[in-house]
Amino acid sequence: MARKIDWESQIGRRLKLRDLHVFVTIVQRGSMAKAAEHLGVSQPAVSEIIADLEHAVGVRLLDRGPQGVTPTMYGQEMIERSRAAFDELKQGITAIEALADPTVGTVRIGCAQSLMSTVLSPVIERFSLQYRGVRLHVQDVVTSTLDLPELRERSLDVVLARLVRPLDVSEDMNVEVLFNDEMVVAAGRQSPWAQRDQIDIAELVDEPWILTRPGTWNHTTVADAFRARGLDLPTVCVTTFSVDIRNDLLATGRFLTAFPRSFVNVHADRFSLKILPVKLPARPWPVEIITLKNRTLNPVVQRFIDHVRAFTSTMGAGSTVEKRAV
């Protein structure tokens, strides 16, 4: 029979945030000696704290070995809960600071590369004019894997993504559809194809293509369009997620690629792009904003999300914001 832990006598009066901080530091550093050095305390003091912590919860949290320490399955659970507890405490302090000055704080944003210049840059430009004291940290994320570990580990507050299968997102995340985009075939304006009013995709089978890797929406949509005509996918000359590389190569007039319609609409003049009159499978491609469930967002993050909603409300095929929690 599992031993029942009495909260009041074993945890409430004995467990301190300092103990959790020491425990997390040991796991991060891989040994008690390194943790003690990092914390500026003696190793016996660190060992005593861990011994008291393990006694309080009634299970072994760390396995000791010649290579250092590793968390047990109980320790791993304690790590996850400690991370959440410290994050909530930080968010609470940030929220308290925001009550005194709602124009300061930090927003940590993950963004798919194809949305950075289409959505994120215009939103940042407008947001920063109103909230000059807010710091925005932006990180490129690849969302085709549907994993988003940075969000789960709380190193990001919010993610802007184009998910291939949004319903597959983990149940610990909130997903909000901002608008539905679609894929189009694009070329540089110098391309001879840019002068055509009608193009059958079968005519493009021998052209040099730039696509993202197999399994992504970009690659799959183009491949399915050719298969619908009984053709194999043309040779992909360049495989890349880089928007810059694709734009540079399209400018030569030799290459073709597939882009989200919203990207070409925003940047057609800047990068001399032209949407070709090529029929692709009609598949709405949701652009979504993702946050972690059961996590209190500080007010500055919430204000940023409101700005994203406002900016994207008229983009894409659907102007009505749809909310989903999965």
**pLDDT tens string 282-292:** 888 889 999 99
Handedness of CA 136, 139, 144, 148 (dihedral sign): negative
Mean pLDDT of 118-139: 93
Outline which parts of the chain fall under CATH 3.40.190.10: 101-181+285-325, 183-275
- The closest alpha carbon to 126, from 313, 288, 307, belongs to 307
pLDDT(137) > 60: yes
Query: Of 247-251, 287-291, 298-302, where does mean pLDDT reach its minimum?
Result: 298-302
Q: pLDDT grade, residue 6 (50/70/90)?
A: low
pTM of the model: 0.64
- Superfamily of domain 101-181+285-325 in CATH is Periplasmic binding protein-like II (3.40.190.10)
Asked if 18 and 26 touch (Cβ cutoff 8 Å), the reply is: no
Burial of 270 (0-12, 13-18, 19+ CB in 10 A): exposed
Mean pLDDT of 70-91: 87
- The closest alpha carbon to 271, from 290, 292, 250, 291, belongs to 250
Outline which parts of the chain fall under CATH 1.10.10.10: 7-89
Mean pLDDT of the chain: 85
The topology (CATH level 3) of 7-89 is Arc Repressor Mutant, subunit A (1.10.10)
Which stretches of the chain are DSSP H helices?
17-29, 32-39, 43-57, 73-100, 113-115, 121-130, 149-152, 217-227, 243-250, 261-271, 299-312
Q: Any bridge partners for residue 238, and if so which?
A: 210
Asked if 163 and 288 touch (Cβ cutoff 8 Å), the reply is: yes
pLDDT(304) > 80: yes
- The pLDDT of residue 191 is 96
Domain spanning 183-275: CATH 3.50.50.60: no
Asked if 117 and 87 touch (Cβ cutoff 8 Å), the reply is: no
Joined together, the tokens standing for residue 26 give 């040991």
Joined together, the tokens standing for residue 80 give 């996850």
**pLDDT tens string 227-248:** 999 999 998 999 998 999 999 9
- The closest alpha carbon to 284, from 164, 196, 194, belongs to 164
Q: Any bridge partners for residue 105, and if so which?
A: 134
Mean pLDDT of 166-176: 71
Which stretches of 241-284 are DSSP H helices?
243-250, 261-271
